[in-house]
Chain A
Amino acid sequence: MDGKSVVSASGKASFRTRVIKDWKKYKPIYILALLGVAYYIIFCYLPIGGILMAFENYKPTRGLFGSKWVGFKYFIDFFTGAYAWRVIRNTLLINFYDLIFGFPAPIIFALLLNEITSNAFKRTVQTISYLPFFISQVVICGILLDFLSLNGLLNQIITVFGLPKTAFMIFPQYFRSIFVGSGIWQGLGYGAIIYLAALSSVDVQLYDAAVIDGCNRFKRMIHVTLPCIMPTIVIMLILRIGSMMSVGFEKIILLYNPSVYETADVISSFVYRYGLLQGNFSYSTAVGLFNSVVNFALLAITNSISKRVSDISLW
């Protein structure tokens, strides 16, 4: 005992004394922390613990610890079931289209805005562009369904060009295009903000140097502007690829109907329908868990590839 206290007095304080000292100094802060810690434990960590029920036959009456342990039964059920391939395929395809068309759109939009010399015009376009982002998903989808209905605006316009009327929301082949297209429309301005911020920090001297080297505007865009915002693009790409296996259920369930499940039903909407509406708690928790594990793995893999190739990483 004596030896210990000598050590702590002369050099590094022992853990215990540090804890006590820290507690004395920051006691009021720790008391303030209680509320926040309680929130995180109850509403974030308890649900994470609740993932356990993916491995048991969860019965609400028996609780998490009283229910029967079934191991990977529900995972096997899902993968051998009729819907696994359909929801995984739809989730991946929607993300793939969004990656191809939706990811570059805000970058191009930002680059084009950056070429505008009039600040007032630039600001106006930008202000308008992120308006849809602040309108609720319900309203956006309501307008979308109205415009795409049989007597809606889109049909009125295409009949002028001699095309037949189509009830777009009933045919599975249109769903993904509608979903991804409206997503681009909603997120264009919002997505561009981060690139515009990166563009505004590009050193003007670089452009001067490029002009002296005889670069025209297009070349300056390719050789100066793009490399300067490349780190931002890579970070956004990592994040984007990290969510290749997730599509939020909100917009899906607002837009879909049983006749387009074939192309519209994604993992999250499936979890919602099978889990909450039909009460298959364990089964859909297993599906959800599978989904988040894949997502996190994707994020980690892309991140480490990017770290090796370009030195850019999230962590």
Chain B
Amino acid sequence: MWNYGKKSVSSKVFDFCNVIFLIIVSIVTIYPFIFVLFASFSDPVRLVAHRGLLLHPLGFTLNGYLLAFKTNDIMTGYGVTAFLVIVGTLCNLVMTMIFAYVISKPGMLWSRFLIVMVIITMYFSGGMIPSFIIVKSLGLYDSLWSLILPNLINTFLLIIMRTAIMAVPADLEEAARLDGAGELSVLMKVVMPATVPTLAAIGLFYAIGYWNSWSNALIYIKTTSKYPLQMVLRMILIQNNSSGQMANSGVTDSQGEAFRRLMKYSTVIISIVPIMLIYPFIQKYFTKGMMIGALKG
């Protein structure tokens, strides 16, 4: 875009500085994760003695990972989060798909009413305490469903889904109806296949949401064995609450602190690996989803 004849010297200097600056920004962004990755494989004693940046692991050990996997909380946390990601995302997708289909019928008399009802919730909410009381009085307190049901439909994603459904050619739906298909089968056999990319994108958003969310569990879950992964991470990383597990893993006190740090690093890596694995997909859908949302929002 910028090849307008010969570049002036100042322009070249700017380009150079710009590239250097952006490289620095990238390094600053990614280095903390690389540090944690290197540290998680490092010999804990050498790690404690080390000063400054890590450019490679100091020695090599898998002890941090072994400790982390031996910790029951992490494994149950993983299990709970897996349940939420799979079952929760599925519920989210079904509900979002169906309701987006409902509000995508401009000819329908109450369609406008339903849309307004939905939009209002983007600006107003009851807040933490009233929501808590509703969840509690529904008997969902300390149940995993309290992490799914109150967030069944994300209004922002609902509107993205609606936009996608409205872009499906009406002829396709009509043809199916003429063949005697009911609304549900039009939805399943015509609309859904035509909106798979958007469905995948919002599914990804919901799934990442479940993977990363913890504050709902903080409010609604009491029993530690029902904590999702992020709440377990909070105990280990933020509240330094891993001493209990350390006691029975045969580590002496002097090494305790070093091992605890090692285990923290390993835990971080274990918890972000799944996100890293799907990052290429996020990449692909995410920008697109953001732009649709931006146009509508």
| Residues of chain A whose beta carbon lies under 8 Å from any beta carbon of chain B | 18-19, 22, 26, 28-30, 32-33, 35-37, 39-40, 42-51, 53, 60, 109, 112-113, 115-117, 121, 124-125, 127-132, 134-139, 141-143, 145-147, 151, 153, 156-157, 159-160, 185, 188-189, 193-194, 197, 204, 207, 211, 216-217, 232, 249-250, 254, 268, 271-272, 275-276, 281, 284-285, 288-289, 292, 296, 299
- In the bound complex, residues from chain B placing their C-beta under 8 Å from that of A185 are 28-29
Q: How far is the CA of A152 from the CA of B219 in the complex (A)?
A: 31
Shortest 8 CB-CB contacts between residues of A and residues of B: A47-B126, A50-B130, A142-B237, A36-B99, A136-B212, A28-B183, A22-B109, A288-B127
Instruction: Name B184's contact: one of A22, A32, A49, A197 (CB within 8 Å).
Output: A32
A18-B109, A145-B238, A185-B29 in contact; A127/B51 too (CB < 8 A)? no
Q: Are the C-beta atoms of A281 and B214 separated by less than 8 Å?
A: no
- In the bound complex, residues from chain B placing their C-beta under 8 Å from that of A276 are 128-129, 132, 219
- In the bound complex, residues from chain A placing their C-beta under 8 Å from that of B182 are 28
A26-B108, A43-B150, A217-B11 in contact; A139/B128 too (CB < 8 A)? no
Q: How far is the CA of A44 from the CA of B212 in the complex (A)?
A: 22
Q: Is B246 part of the binding interface, using a Cβ–Cβ cutoff of 8 Å? A: no
Q: A35-B99, A42-B138 are in contact. List 16 more A-B contacts (CB 8 A).
A: A28-B184, A35-B95, A36-B99, A36-B102, A48-B125, A53-B129, A116-B18, A128-B29, A138-B212, A138-B234, A139-B272, A142-B268, A147-B32, A289-B127, A292-B125, A296-B124
Q: Are the C-beta atoms of A48 and B237 separated by less than 8 Å?
A: no
> Looking across the interface, which residue of chain B has its beta carbon closest to that of A215?
B4
Instruction: Name B149's contact: one of A43, A142, A271, A296 (CB within 8 Å).
Output: A43
Q: Is B190 part of the binding interface, using a Cβ–Cβ cutoff of 8 Å? A: no
Q: Is the interface of A mostly helix, strand, loop or mixed?
A: helix
- Least CB distance from A125 to B in Å reads 5
Q: How far is the CA of A28 from the CA of B128 in the complex (A)?
A: 35
Q: Are the C-beta atoms of A216 and B233 separated by less than 8 Å?
A: no
Of B60-68, B164-172, B248-256, B286-294, which stretch is located at the interface? B286-294
Instruction: Name A275's contact: one of B129, B138, B183, B208 (CB within 8 Å).
Output: B129
Q: Are the C-beta atoms of A207 and B238 separated by less than 8 Å?
A: no
| Residues of chain B whose beta carbon lies under 8 Å from any beta carbon of chain A | 1-4, 8, 11, 14-15, 18-19, 21-23, 25-26, 28-30, 32-33, 35-36, 48, 51-53, 95, 98-99, 101-102, 105, 108-110, 114, 117-118, 121, 123-134, 138, 149-153, 182-184, 187, 208, 211-215, 219, 230, 233-234, 236-238, 261, 264, 268, 271-272, 275, 279, 282-283, 286-287, 290-291, 294
Q: Are the C-beta atoms of B238 and A142 separated by less than 8 Å?
A: yes
- Least CB distance from A257 to B in Å reads 10
Q: How far is the CA of A232 from the CA of B14 in the complex (A)?
A: 26
Q: Are the C-beta atoms of B133 and A281 separated by less than 8 Å?
A: yes
- In the bound complex, residues from chain A placing their C-beta under 8 Å from that of B23 are 125
- In the bound complex, residues from chain A placing their C-beta under 8 Å from that of B19 are 116, 121
Q: Are the C-beta atoms of A137 and B214 separated by less than 8 Å?
A: yes
Q: How far is the CA of A124 from the CA of B29 in the complex (A)?
A: 12
Q: Are the C-beta atoms of A48 and B134 separated by less than 8 Å?
A: no
Q: Is the interface of B mostly helix, strand, loop or mixed?
A: helix
- In the bound complex, residues from chain B placing their C-beta under 8 Å from that of A33 are 99, 102, 114
- Least CB distance from B119 to A in Å reads 9
- In the bound complex, residues from chain A placing their C-beta under 8 Å from that of B271 are 136, 139
- In the bound complex, residues from chain A placing their C-beta under 8 Å from that of B108 are 22, 26, 29
- In the bound complex, residues from chain B placing their C-beta under 8 Å from that of A147 are 32
A29-B102, A153-B53, A204-B1 in contact; A112/B18 too (CB < 8 A)? yes
- In the bound complex, residues from chain A placing their C-beta under 8 Å from that of B212 are 134-138
- In the bound complex, residues from chain B placing their C-beta under 8 Å from that of A132 are 29
Q: How far is the CA of A146 from the CA of B230 in the complex (A)?
A: 17
Q: Are the C-beta atoms of A51 and B134 separated by less than 8 Å?
A: no
Q: Are the C-beta atoms of A134 and B51 separated by less than 8 Å?
A: no
Q: List 12 A-B contacts (CB under 8 A).
A: A28-B183, A32-B187, A47-B127, A50-B134, A60-B133, A135-B212, A185-B29, A250-B215, A275-B129, A276-B132, A284-B129, A292-B127
Q: Are the C-beta atoms of B133 and A275 separated by less than 8 Å?
A: no
Q: Are the C-beta atoms of B14 and A288 separated by less than 8 Å?
A: no
Q: How far is the CA of A217 from the CA of B13 in the complex (A)?
A: 12
- In the bound complex, residues from chain A placing their C-beta under 8 Å from that of B124 are 48, 292, 296
- Least CB distance from A169 to B in Å reads 11
- In the bound complex, residues from chain A placing their C-beta under 8 Å from that of B98 are 32, 35-36
Q: Are the C-beta atoms of A127 and B283 separated by less than 8 Å?
A: yes
- Least CB distance from A119 to B in Å reads 11
Q: How far is the CA of A193 from the CA of B5 in the complex (A)?
A: 30
Q: How far is the CA of A36 from the CA of B154 in the complex (A)?
A: 11
Q: How far is the CA of A29 from the CA of B173 in the complex (A)?
A: 14
Q: How far is the CA of A139 from the CA of B48 in the complex (A)?
A: 21
